[in-house]
Amino acid sequence: MKKLINNPEEVVSEMLEGFVLAHPKQVKLVPNTSVIVRADSPIQGKVGLVSGGGSGHEPSHGGFVGTGMLDGAVAGEVFTSPTPDQVYEAIKAVDGGKGVLLIIKNYTGDVLNFEMAAELAEADGIKVAKVVVNDDVAVENSTYTTGRRGIAGTVFVHKIAGALAETGASLEEVEAVANKVIQNVRSMGMALTPCTIPAAGKPGFSIGDNEMEIGMGIHGEPGIERGEIKTADEVTSVLLKKVLDDLQPTQDEKVAVMINGLGATPLMELYILNKKVSDLLKERNIDVYETFVGEYMTSLEMAGCSITLLKLDNHLTELLDAKANTVAFKR
Amino acid sequence: MKKLINNPEEVVSEMLEGFVLAHPKQVKLVPNTSVIVRADSPIQGKVGLVSGGGSGHEPSHGGFVGTGMLDGAVAGEVFTSPTPDQVYEAIKAVDGGKGVLLIIKNYTGDVLNFEMAAELAEADGIKVAKVVVNDDVAVENSTYTTGRRGIAGTVFVHKIAGALAETGASLEEVEAVANKVIQNVRSMGMALTPCTIPAAGKPGFSIGDNEMEIGMGIHGEPGIERGEIKTADEVTSVLLKKVLDDLQPTQDEKVAVMINGLGATPLMELYILNKKVSDLLKERNIDVYETFVGEYMTSLEMAGCSITLLKLDNHLTELLDAKANTVAFKR
Amino acid sequence: MNFGVEQTKKWMQELNQRLQLQKAYLTELDQAIGDGDHGLNMARGFQEVVYKISIIDYKDVGSLFKDIGMVLLSKVGGASGPLYGTVFLKAANEVKGKESLETKDLAAAFTASLEGVKMRGKANLGDKTMVDVWEPVVAYLQGDQVDWDTFISLAKTNMENTEQLEAKKGRAAYLGKRSIGHLDPGAVSSFYFFAELAKVCKEVSQA
Amino acid sequence: MNFGVEQTKKWMQELNQRLQLQKAYLTELDQAIGDGDHGLNMARGFQEVVYKISIIDYKDVGSLFKDIGMVLLSKVGGASGPLYGTVFLKAANEVKGKESLETKDLAAAFTASLEGVKMRGKANLGDKTMVDVWEPVVAYLQGDQVDWDTFISLAKTNMENTEQLEAKKGRAAYLGKRSIGHLDPGAVSSFYFFAELAKVCKEVSQA
Ligand SMILES: Nc1ncnc2c1ncn2[C@@H]1O[C@H](COP(=O)(O)OP(=O)(O)O)[C@@H](O)[C@H]1O
Ligand SMILES: Nc1ncnc2c1ncn2[C@@H]1O[C@H](COP(=O)(O)OP(=O)(O)O)[C@@H](O)[C@H]1O
Ligand SMILES: [Mg+2]
Ligand SMILES: [Mg+2]
Ligand SMILES: [Mg+2]
Ligand SMILES: [Mg+2]
């Protein structure tokens, strides 16, 4: 394991300290928790937005705390959902009287822990709503199982719900627009190399020197196909096809695109992928409104990528365009 | 070699295409070149800023083209300085009548190619000035040799000279402030893993499973010490000490800090490093004005980091604070 | 039987020891069909449990169970944290104020636990989760006669049977049919849970 | 001697072939004390040279040299691009309009080249760069009598001697004393440059 760390058991707390030390004007740590909130939290008269999950996906979610996006982010252990007490602290720290929306990625652990926290907060009289993001089309949707995973598309939920909350909208309105994003966002990823949870000390899985895995989850959950490594164009075609088949945008619709790096993939490669994404969407007469390329939802030092499409109507477009000022997302 | 690419010989051109396709409102490609310029270039009455170098350091330098920073960025082959004709095209494309400043990282190849381009442009009657960034304290400065290398500190030169140019300042003024940044910025890096130039097909060097290299250059040039892998705190102490010994900030001075990832190092680890940087600077009563954590000057998929300090006076602070709107740096 | 505070502490110590020893194994199981943290999660949580309960004098099993549940809830995280936390919180409610438990008390406690786990996680028998160990074991515990060796082998068999199941709940569910052929990590930790409980109960019964 | 357009083209073809064969070797040399691209740079540049000059009919060596220089300048990059580009541009200037070169013309041309390289790169003899091959070789070429085999061994010896030098210019200079013990990649490519030139000259002289 080659990592710039001190103690594998302390990576999350040291990271959080280093984070608030780097950005004291924007964020603060709720004392004795693993909760990052805006420096000016709680904001009275604004719906509070809280997200979070296991650590190791940086800049998610602490990097998206700030004006126009999240109010709070809860960091669990690496790849492990945060506990209810921590989520509960986040809810209390950001509640400005208008209620709090929890943005949860669809993993059993996240759902259970956030639900229990919501119950605790509701018992305190705080209004809480929850949305569950399930953008990953790699794993089939089925009503009998857990459903799809939540991955990079979550960042669009933060952005758009955050923009609406900033206007003073009600909890119901913010929840509704978050659900609208969730209904219109789809992603799929792939990995070239594994990653190592610091406390585990060795990679969670292995991928042959000549292999890649299509559909790999952001915690290293097995994907849908292990095969020989393909070209950037071929990988893009496979991922984008699955996303498009599921999302089914029509010719006159416009989309936002996110090409997300999982941690070790150079920007150079992400832009090479984007060339093909752009070509393929042009072929289908789908209008790309805006493209985001970079690291938004990572998996430690995994090499690989995910591609996300979000269908936009005028309302979503306006909210996507709105000002945001967070550590990892500014406009 | 595990890369998301199509043809190793085409990585630079495909990346550049993917880049301008992603950000058409901000940047454009000068046709038939490897030159990225602002979408609204040339800007009349503003000094043009051009930087560049070998590719593989993304987001440097194309990611810093935009309002308040660069006007143009020239991309060479991976880790190879761009040729004079390309730099010359960039100069012509951004010249708005007030002259052009070339920001060159101190490598023989970059210096030679940019110099020849400057001669070509001057022969056309374009006023050209050059500054050479040499922030890397890993390699000793000596008047008998080539001097120090230029690494992540270059981004501060882009930011501050770019901010001054935006005010309508003269070429001489912009050159002077760029040199002021260069005199006040120092960096040092280290690597945990090597990287692979796509066309070479295999890593440029190797580092043992338990080893790291202090002072490694951003093209994989050997560093100053190969040794057993140390903790984040120890690495930080070594790098920061060399930077401070050279920069010699006094107690009442304020600095900007950049913790730069080389490509494969998770943000989590960079923030862990920042915790220690912050502690060490506090111990020495050095005032941290602002901290930048992320990937600014990478080396393909190398794992490792560099730490940069910039001493700030009021003028530099004001320019650092000024608005910037580029793909990779916004404020 | 006389299963009180002391026995519960002993059980927690033995269980923790086993989890520390099997941390890497549980993590490997979770790497195959999940995200590779189950061993880390359980080891972290029960280590903390043992520490926390060692420094407090408990009068009754109920308050001890409650503390265990709270520690697990706030230290484990993931899917297993709320589920094992629920196990103890529901059980605590059932044995509130009791200084010593009979087998029927344990049966009532874990019946409540199982209900809680199923309500939270919505998993049914056969979904390849810890429920596949819990449901048959709790049913046996509810019977007239409990033999602790039989109890252990029942837990073991049902744990082993998860290998052939297709996951319908939890992270492994994303794998669909490819989850077949692997043990469910939570079923294995549940087996440890019951096996260590049984060992303590057996000792007490023999004494 | 009759070193004209045809001979220059032959030289470029042979040199290119050798560079393609030695691409990996040159790159390895550059990996040891530089950034590992010298082989890629040279192979890319001379491949393009051979392609470009093959499709044009040249009347004189001067204009052919000029094209070679321009191609190298715009295709190689790095430190070696401007330096090898300068080599041909300066030489072109010296033999402007000539259809055929004598040894003394070559001497004059490469004397100008060497001056150009030193002016651009500011390297001196002993700085562990291509200049360490160029300076003695050009000096020998300026002499009365040129034996092409001697010429080749002179280039080779001086190339080999760079191993023991400490780099003072170029990327290897950052290494200081640790550059000792490695050949300079640009000295090796310069050796190929002169060796392939000499082979063509020898053929012409013997004919
Ligand atoms: N919905 C559920 N109901 C019951 N048990 C579940 C459920 N989801 C997961 N589990 C159990 O939790 C175990 C995984 O725990 P763990 O790895 O600690 O959490 P996570 O899956 O969040 O990483 C599974 O092996 C399974 O036994
Ligand atoms: N200042 C200089 N003067 C003469 N030759 C130089 C100088 N700097 C570098 N070289 C030559 O260039 C070679 C390196 O070329 P190359 O690897 O293609 O460029 P770069 O160093 O930019 O990667 C060195 O081996 C050396 O012979
Ligand atoms: Mg987990
Ligand atoms: Mg180079
Ligand atoms: Mg798990
Ligand atoms: Mg080189």
Span C9-28, pLDDT tens digits? 999 999 999 999 999 999 99
List, for residues D74-101, the tens digit of each pLDDT value: 999 999 999 999 999 999 999 999 999 9
To the nearest whole Å, the CA of C85 is away from the closest chain A CA by: 10
B279 vs B263: CA distance, rounded Å: 25
State the pLDDT at residue A119. 94
Does A57 lie at the interface with C, CB-CB under 8 angstroms? no
Section A139-149 average pLDDT: 67
The strand pair at B35-38 and B72-78 is best described as antiparallel
To the nearest whole Å, the CA of A238 is away from the closest chain C CA by: 19
User: What's the maximum distance between 2 C-alpha atoms anywhere in chain D?
Assistant: 48
CATH number of B8-183+320-326: 3.40.50.10440
Query: Residue A219 catalytic?
Result: yes
- Specify the amino acid at residue A78: V
Q: A185-319: same fold as A11-182?
A: no
State the pLDDT at residue A145. 56
Say whether the peptide bond before residue D136 is cis (omega within 30 degrees of 0).
Answer: no
Say whether the peptide bond before residue A203 is cis (omega within 30 degrees of 0).
Answer: no
Contacts of B303 in chain A (CB under 8 A): 2, 264, 301
Please tell me which residue, B142 or A83, carries the higher pLDDT value: A83
Section A239-251 average pLDDT: 95
B71 vs A111: CA distance, rounded Å: 47
CATH of A185-319, picked from 3.40.630.30, 3.30.1180.20, 3.30.70.1730, 3.40.309.10, is 3.30.1180.20
State the pLDDT at residue B151. 97
C37 with A140: Cβ contact below 8 A: no
Does B32 lie at the interface with D, CB-CB under 8 angstroms? no
List, for residues B3-36, the tens digit of each pLDDT value: 999 999 999 999 999 999 999 999 999 999 999 9
- Specify the amino acid at residue B7: N
Section C118-131 average pLDDT: 96
State the pLDDT at residue A139. 80
Does A195 lie at the interface with C, CB-CB under 8 angstroms? no
Residue found by looking up tokens 């020239």 in the block: B74
Which whole-number Å values give the CA distances from C165 to A253, C30, C189, in the listed order? Answer: 43, 15, 17
Instruction: Name every protein residue with a CB atom under 6 angstroms from any ligand 2 atom.
Output: B 81, 108-109; D 30, 34-35, 37-38, 41, 78-80, 83, 117, 121-123, 129-131, 169-171, 184-187
Q: What is the four-CA torsion angle of D182, D188, D189, D195, rounded to 10 degrees?
A: -170
What confidence tier does B195 reach under pLDDT thresholds 50, 70, 90? very high
Cα C126–chain centre separation: 17
Which whole-number Å values give the CA distances from D132 to A183, B92, C66, D154, D191, in the listed order? Answer: 68, 37, 81, 11, 10
A233 vs A275: CA distance, rounded Å: 9
A181 vs A155: CA distance, rounded Å: 10
Does A175 lie at the interface with C, CB-CB under 8 angstroms? no
Q: Which residues of B178-187 are buried (b: 16+ CB within 10 A; e: fewer)?
A: bbbbbebbbb
CATH number of A11-182: 3.40.50.10440
Domains along chain D? 3-206 (1.25.40.340)
Q: Is C185 in the pocket of ligand 1 (CB under 6 A)?
A: yes
Chain B contact probe: residue of A267, A277, A330, A331 with most B CBs at under 10 A: A267
State the pLDDT at residue A252. 81
**What is the domain partition of chain A in residue ranges?**
11-182, 185-319
Please tell me which residue, B224 or C66, carries the higher pLDDT value: C66
Contacts of D76 in chain B (CB under 8 A): 83
Section A285-307 average pLDDT: 97
B185-317 adopts what CATH topology? Hypothetical Protein Tm841; Chain: A;domain 3 (3.30.1180)
The strand pair at B185-191 and B211-214 is best described as antiparallel
State the pLDDT at residue A141. 55
Name the residue at shortest CA distance from atom 27 of ligand 2.
D186
What confidence tier does B147 reach under pLDDT thresholds 50, 70, 90? confident
List, for residues D109-164, the tens digit of each pLDDT value: 999 999 999 999 999 999 999 999 999 999 999 998 999 999 999 999 999 999 99
Does D52 lie at the interface with B, CB-CB under 8 angstroms? no
Query: Residue B219 catalytic?
Result: yes
In chain B, the percentage of residues whose pLDDT exceeds 90 is 92
Q: Which of B23, B61, B158, B219 is catalytic?
A: B219
State the pLDDT at residue B137. 94
Top mutation candidate among C90, C124, C130, C188 for ligand 1, by most atoms within 8 Å of CB: C130
**H helices present in chain D, as ranges:** 5-33, 38-54, 61-75, 80-94, 103-121, 131-141, 148-161, 185-206
